Chain A
Amino acid sequence: MKPPPFAYAAAGTLDEAVALLDEAGEDAKLLAGGQSLLPLLAFRLARPSHLIDIGGIEGLDTLEEQDGCLRVGALVRHATLERADLNGGWQALREAASLIGHLPIRVRGTFGGSLAHADPASELGVVAAAFDAEIVLRSVRGVRTMPARDFFLAPLTTAADPDEVLVEARFPTPGTGFRSVFEEFSPRIGDFAYASVAAGCRLATDGSARDVRIALGSVGPTPVRALDAEQALSGSFLDDTAIVECARLAAELCDPDAGDWHADGTYRRALVSHLVERALRRLGGGP
């Protein structure tokens, strides 16, 4: 459980980070909070040639609403998100952050690291998928953005190139009255979830659900957007029948092979249905 040899450099600025990353080549890795990368190193499951530490770069921890979106910087710690004044439409983000690991992990772990690591169980990845976050990537070649649905490709694999730094994600500000919640099942507090759900909607004046968003975690290779379920619920009231039907449609998306020895696909599917129901009842005003 000792990491294999690697070279280390700490970047003082974002420019320096992208330059170092470019220079070090394909086998280099960024080091942010270290909460995913260091365990991989200890098990020798990752063997980067270089670690480029971005943890000390200033200005990468933006957390503000600006120009119609919420900008969340790569170095925003989970613990910061968890305690931020994020309610209504952003509540799912805060709730998701609070469910990551244990406090010492949340104090170090970063938003950008969580997205870039692309664990299908990552709560923040599910929120990014549910609310159409735009991912901002930067390299010596310039800046580009892409929607979350294109960013996550497979477990621990994203569309970012090896020389790119994830700088921030931008969550479009939803319409007034939009609310969001996050639900998950993990065996113990702090464990990676067996299944998770980010859900949001706005209740129209007649009480029907609009702008429905539902995404699922831990049930496939990437966060999964439950588009059929969203559509089925749109325009209907959050009554038992609609909720159960929506949960059923969401559960159908679960890959039966996505499970592991802890929790197989069938079990995860049942959890999703249960969690979607719970999330929707909360959105409908339940506990």
Chain B
Amino acid sequence: MSAPRGGLIGSPAPRRKNRELLTGEGTYVADIRLEGQVYARVVRSPSAHARLLGVDTSEALRVPGVVAAITADDIDDIRIPIRLPFAESPEANAVLQAPLAADVVRYVGEPVAVVVADDPYVAEDAAELVSVDLEELEPVLDPATSAESSRTLVHESFGSNTIGRLAYRYGDVDAAFAQADVVVRRRLRVHRLAATPMETRGLVADYDSGSGGLTVWGGAKVKHFTRALLSRVLGLELTKVRVIEVEVGGGFGTRGEPYPEDILVALLARRLERPVQWIEDRWEHMVATNHAREQEHDFELAAGADGRMLGFRVRGWCDHGAYVRTQGLLPVVLPMVHLPGPYEWQAFSMDLDAVLTNRTPVGTYRGPGMTEATFVRERMVDILAAELQMDPADLRRRNLIPAESMPFSFMPGPGSGAVMPIMYQGGDFVQAFDQMLDGAGYDRMRVEQQQARADGQHAGVGISAYIEFAAVGPFEEVEVIGGAGNVVVRAGVGSLGQGVETALAQIAAELLDVPLTDVTVEFHDTAEVPQGFGAFASRSTVLAGNAIAAAVDEMRAVAAPLLGCGPDDVEFRGGAATAPGDRSVGLGDIGPTRGRFEKEGLTASFGGAVCSVSVNPADGRARVDRFALAHDVGRAVNPRLLRGQLAGAAAQGIGGALFEEIAYDEHGQPLSVTFADYMMPTAAELPDVEVTIIEHGSGSNPLGIKGGGEAGMVGSLGAVANGVADAVGAGAEVLSSSVSSAHLWHALHRPTGHDPGEE
């Protein structure tokens, strides 16, 4: 009998399917061709806000090849519900989106009709012939004024553009401010961004009238929720709906939520009794798929002359766009729980409004809320550092929650609304922060900065530190089926290209002591994997990984009587359960077991980023010359995949700071609808991202894993903005998360005190 293999958890195994995917052998939803398949094209609102007087499809229906054209009149009056219970409120439920607009259109891109034809080109030609009769209304476009002073209402019947007011009070904030030697105040703005996965959304739905079953390909991220929703909307039994995940070219939080199109395509498949395919094009993607991040915050920070940060007050407006979608009020809930971050505040007071505007709805995008909150808080910390003439790293270190205080919580006090409490289970923030600075060579960065300045360059160093809440429950359940030379793990998570199947296989292989190649992970099909919550909040490895551990424990319990020993004496060796004295039973003889991991609350992890930045004041260009980050992942199941996730997320964040912006004109027309206008970074604009992985374990789950899929994003906007601010010094105030060359040039060439993101 061989010695236990071990070491698979923590090994840099290559991602499964790399070769297949890189050589074009993967099957994506657009690759699916079914017998008799027809193609849907969505007709979208050209206007940001208008009364919809009529939609006439008669001309489109006359085009040869067109098989259907539907409007709101042809479907039931339904709303797409909120998926996450903690992000609901009665107000939020009053402004949910219908699959097709009926009386009013509220953003450019809102679906008003669908045309289906036997050829996608014909569908697009015919869609142009649908005439949409509109009576223009004033659009609401600015989040802060939308809430306070807009005469126009995005939803007239709701009576207000504010759909949620969240309040969180901790400690005596007035006392903290009364004690302060210094108070800094600014209004900071986070600009609108979009996740833009390489693959746009897409679906194929097929209804079999014989069996009464509906099969949908292309749903990813939250398959089981999508299945439940479709079963409800179509009035089918749950078991009659099957959602199958195929390869996915990126998700980043936006792709795979149920959107209007998911319902429309399923309804059309049943109505036509033919397979219907819909593939979103990039223009549609830029107006139809969730946007993210836009918010404004008035932030006041009180501190002692010694740099002790005492308290803060924040009043903010978080844009939700024109409707509340499946993620509910997360665009306001998540910034709130992340605003306090890793510092030991005596007190704070937060009031955040969820507001509506006549623009594409807002949802979560990798590092949701936390990226925005980190930008706001960390920019303020640097503004304080400048005011106190302190080194920003020293100022932060002085205020980090000490390890002795763990676990730590900011319990909501009187005056708070119904909010989730902010609690940190553990970790050593100071040690991790110093590890990050050492990894980055912070002291050397400062020396190089001085040298560059002596050469007349505008060089800056930017830091940010954050708390990421991740790994949301409620639970995952997996099934582990052992066999000779083959172990199958069935898990209800989703793969968005992040490699979760590789990480889960590593966990199963190590716990069962089988070769990695023997483990197959199945998660694609709701018919085979009956339950699951999906891929979001950096939860998949944490939840499903621990569920695998539970299933293995269950195997041990089943094997024990067969081996005539206690469960604790069972050891897995080379594909068999063994007991002292050379007794063993093959995994295949134990039978499938299930494991369930339930998780309450969120897992907090600490991290941060440091970068060096150079700015050319003549053209406004900021370059990130170095970018180093650190993240506490608890325990790295696969450091190679983790580095990829962290570096990729950081690259996305750097691009968001330097180039990307979703802009609208004064009529609410979107301006960033192509990749020529929505400028994602390429390798040429990015530095290498240097990654320090911190493994401070976690008390909240047996495997000690924390989230890692999003973390690289969280500190990025804040670190880059701080680096730019440090580079330009008194030359400009950096008050927006967008430091594109144009914004920065304007900030540098106008009297200080203005918002560089305002033009």
Contacts and interface: CB of A to CB of B under 8 A. Distances in A.
Contacts of A270: 618-619, 745, 749
A237 interface: no
Interface in A112-137: none
Contacts of B281: 1
Contacts of A261: 663, 665, 671
A267 B742 contact: yes
Interface in B92-141: 120-121, 124-125, 128
B170 interface: no
Contacts of B684: 188-189
A141 interface: no
Interface stretch (B158-166, B673-681, B718-726): B673-681
A264 B619 contact: no
Contacts of A5: 121, 125
Contact of B742 (A3, A190, A263): A263
A185 B616 CA distance: 12
B618 A274 contact: yes
Contacts of A8: none
Interface residues of B, number: 31
Contacts, number: 59
Contact of A191 (B121, B619, B671, B679): B679
B155 interface: no
Contact of A187 (B124, B125, B283, B679): B679
B759 interface: yes
What bracket does the count of chain A residues touching chain B fall in? 20 to 34
Interface in B727-745: 740-742, 745
A178 interface: no
A239 to B, nearest CB: 19
A189 B686 CA distance: 11
Contact of A262 (B121, B282, B742): B742
Contacts of B742: 194, 262-264, 267
B685 A188 contact: yes
B759 A264 contact: yes
Contact of A188 (B125, B282, B659, B749): B659
Contact of B124 (A2, A191, A262, A274): A2
A190 B675 CA distance: 12
Contacts of A264: 742, 759
B400 to A, nearest CB: 36
A64 B659 CA distance: 40
A203 to B, nearest CB: 25
Contacts of A1: 124, 281-283
A44 interface: yes
A260 B674 CA distance: 15
Contact of B677 (A4, A185, A189, A262): A262
B746 interface: yes
A264 B750 CA distance: 14
A271 interface: yes
A192 interface: yes
Contacts of B125: 4-5
B677 to A, nearest CB: 7
B620 interface: yes
Interface in B608-646: 618-621
In the complex, the 3 A-B pairs of residues with the closest C-beta atoms, listed nearest first: A1-B281, A189-B684, A274-B618
Given A189-B682, A261-B665, A267-B746, 16 more contacts: A4-B125, A5-B121, A43-B283, A44-B128, A185-B619, A187-B740, A188-B679, A188-B681, A189-B685, A194-B741, A194-B742, A263-B742, A264-B742, A267-B620, A267-B745, A270-B749
13 contacts: A5-B125, A185-B619, A185-B741, A188-B659, A190-B682, A192-B676, A261-B663, A261-B665, A262-B742, A263-B742, A267-B745, A270-B745, A274-B618
